């Protein structure tokens, strides 16, 4: 790492530090943005300072939870980790995390980097750094207006990942056909994780399915069983492409929800690939706490509120199934259509709200509260309409005043989740 790079790190660190002192916030992305302007290749020299290399985590759902689990495991065995903040998953967020981690002489202190990477940014990041491990979780439809189609992302990923050297090990979800397919075109070793548990198959297939056609030949896939969305035990009816046998397929999850089972398996598969003993993995994950808005529990004036970030059809279906399994009787759905949420709210029609029992109390809010209310009306055979609160704080007030001792389960899109936490905690924290 050259002297100039270090000066850039010191400079941006100083500006970020001053900005924090002035109460303007440290910024999760702009220090990196400034550094990149001064030194376009700074991400390369920064990552080369990491003696234990870089681990990248990509996929539509579960990036934050999985990368935090990996961080927890590595820190438990004494590694010093640099990790990008939730949502700051473009290259500027990655560089910002290095700047935050560096000492005042501009030296990177960590020995390993764990970065969650936005779907579109994965090829960009790979131009700057060669990861030691790549975890690919899943690919679902998410904000078509921003990300484009799943097939297009798969193509971009394959092009970028196939150029990585054979030393890079891939941790891949065997149960997502598109992710498993990527394993066939990379040079490095692929370690597959997945579930072998017929007891968890869905009785009725959910609607929001993307990948029911073979990523290799385009013919229809058949499933021995589906766990959720298009995740399951699959094989192609046309060619010989079949679900790889997952070597990591069993691990007790400390968080509710099948999707967290997968996040856990991904983190465990990664840890095992690094030779970390099972006992150490087990111990480190025992007290794992969920990330921002991911099954967070907040006490608000005597009411227990449970938050579930739910930002696309697959994620929303997974959250919904989890809260209904947890016996939810009071539900609040908050739908915003700001840039981080995606401007297009059409996807709510791919969520199976039909599973919400008629006995549940349902409240809706958000910028597009009426769209959500309409979706729920049409999910109900009787056309029952939920209570609409255009003001989110009034929805919480109403829930508290019901005085039922039932927890309120909140499923919200990204910016709606920020707003909910701000109201409940009186401040905005990521």
Partner 1 sequence: MKKSIRIAWLYPDLMSTYGDRGNVIVLERRSSWRGVRADIVPVTLETPVSVLESCGLIFMGGAQDRQQKLAGEDFLKRKGPVVKKMVESNIPALFVCAAYQFVGRYYKPYQGDIIPGAGIFDLTTEHPGDQAKRLIGNVRAEIVNPHVLAGTVIVGFENHGGRTHLGPKMKPLAKVISGNGNNGDDGWEGVIYKNAIGSYFHGPLLPKNPAIADWLLEKALGTLAPLSDTLERKANESVR
Q: Is residue 145 close enough to count as binding partner 1 by CB under 8 A?
A: yes
- The only residue of 48, 75, 371, 406 in contact with partner 1, by rule CB under 8 A: 371
Is 129 or 373 the residue whose CB approaches partner 1 more closely? 373
Q: Which region, judged by CB under 8 A, interacts with partner 1, from 33-41, 150-158, 264-272, 419-427? A: 150-158
Q: Which residues touch 287 (CB under 8 Å, ≥6 apart)?
A: none
Is 132 or 368 the residue whose CB approaches partner 1 more closely? 368
Q: Is residue 350 close enough to count as binding partner 1 by CB under 8 A?
A: yes
Task: Transcribe 137-181 into DSSP letters.
Answer: -------HHHH--HHHHHHHHHHHHTTS-TT-EEEEETTSHHHHH
Q: Is residue 311 close enough to count as binding partner 1 by CB under 8 A?
A: no
Among the residues of 22-115, which ranges form H helices? 30-38, 42-48, 63-76, 91-101
Q: Is residue 385 close enough to count as binding partner 1 by CB under 8 A?
A: yes
3-state helix/strand/coil string of 234-290: EEECCCCCECCCCCECCCCCCCCCHHHHHHHHHHHHHHHHCCCCHHHHHHHHCCCCC
Q: Is residue 152 close enough to count as binding partner 1 by CB under 8 A?
A: yes
Alpha-carbon dihedral sign for residues 115, 116, 118, 119: positive
Instruction: Write out the two tokens for 13.
Output: 């660190």
**Cα separation values, 309 from 124, 333, 335, Å:** 27, 10, 11
- The only residue of 35, 56, 334, 373 in contact with partner 1, by rule CB under 8 A: 373
Is 149 or 325 the residue whose CB approaches partner 1 more closely? 149
Length of the chain, please? 430
Is 111 or 151 the residue whose CB approaches partner 1 more closely? 151
- The only residue of 13, 83, 133, 141 in contact with partner 1, by rule CB under 8 A: 141
- The only residue of 23, 199, 381, 426 in contact with partner 1, by rule CB under 8 A: 381
- The only residue of 15, 38, 77, 144 in contact with partner 1, by rule CB under 8 A: 144
CB of 238 to partner 1, least distance (A): 11
d(CA 364, CA 68): 30
Q: List residues near partner 1 by CB under 8 A.
A: 141, 144-145, 149-152, 207, 209, 212-213, 218, 220, 343-350, 368-371, 373-375, 377-379, 381, 383, 385, 388
């Amino acid at each position: 790492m050259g002297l100039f790079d270090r000066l850039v790190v010191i400079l941006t660190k100083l500006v970020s530090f001053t900005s924090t002192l002035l109460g303007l916030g440290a910024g999760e992305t702009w220090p990196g943005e400034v550094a990149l302007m001064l030194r376009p290749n700074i991400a390369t020299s920064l990552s080369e300072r990491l003696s234990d290399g870089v681990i990248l985590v990509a996929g539509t759902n579960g990036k934050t939870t999985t990368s935090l689990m990996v961080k927890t495991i590595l820190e438990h065995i004494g590694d010093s980790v640099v990790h990008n903040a939730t949502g700051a998953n473009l290259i500027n967020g990655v560089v910002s995390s290095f700047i935050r981690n560096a000492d005042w002489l501009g030296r990177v202190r960590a020995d390993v980097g764990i970065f969650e990477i936005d779907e579109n940014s994965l090829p960009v990041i790979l131009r700057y750094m060669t990861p030691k491990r790549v975890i690919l979780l899943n690919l679902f439809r998410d904000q078509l207006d921003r990300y484009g189609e799943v097939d297009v992302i798969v193509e971009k990923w394959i092009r970028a990942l196939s150029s990585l050297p054979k030393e890079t090990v891939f941790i891949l979800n065997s149960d997502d056909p598109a992710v498993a397919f990527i394993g066939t075109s990379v040079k490095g070793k692929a370690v597959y994780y997945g579930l072998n548990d017929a007891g968890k198959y869905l009785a009725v297939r959910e609607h929001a399915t993307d990948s029911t056609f073979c990523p290799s030949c385009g013919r229809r896939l058949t499933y021995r069983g589906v766990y959720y969305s298009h995740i399951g035990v699959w094989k192609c009816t046309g060619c010989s492409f079949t679900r790889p046998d997952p070597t990591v397929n069993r691990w007790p999850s400390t968080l509710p929800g099948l999707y967290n089972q997968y996040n856990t398996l991904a983190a465990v598969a990664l840890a095992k690939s690094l030779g970390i003993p099972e006992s150490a993995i087990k111990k480190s994950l025992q007290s794992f706490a969920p990330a921002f808005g991911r099954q967070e529990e907040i006490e608000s004036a005597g009411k227990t509120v449970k938050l579930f970030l739910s930002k696309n059809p697959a994620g929303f279906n997974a959250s919904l199934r989890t809260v209904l399994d947890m016996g939810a009787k009071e539900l609040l759905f908050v739908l915003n259509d700001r840039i981080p949420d995606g401007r297009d709210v059409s996807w709510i029609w791919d969520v199976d709200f039909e599973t919400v029992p008629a006995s549940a109390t349902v409240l809706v809010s958000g910028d597009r509260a009426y769209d959500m209310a309409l979706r729920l009306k049409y999910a109900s055979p009787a056309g029952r309409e939920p209570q609409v609160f255009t003001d989110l704080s009034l929805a919480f007030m109403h829930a508290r005043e019901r005085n039922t001792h039932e927890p309120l389960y909140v499923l919200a899109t990204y910016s709606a989740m920020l707003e909910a936490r701000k109201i409940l905690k009186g401040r905005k924290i990521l």
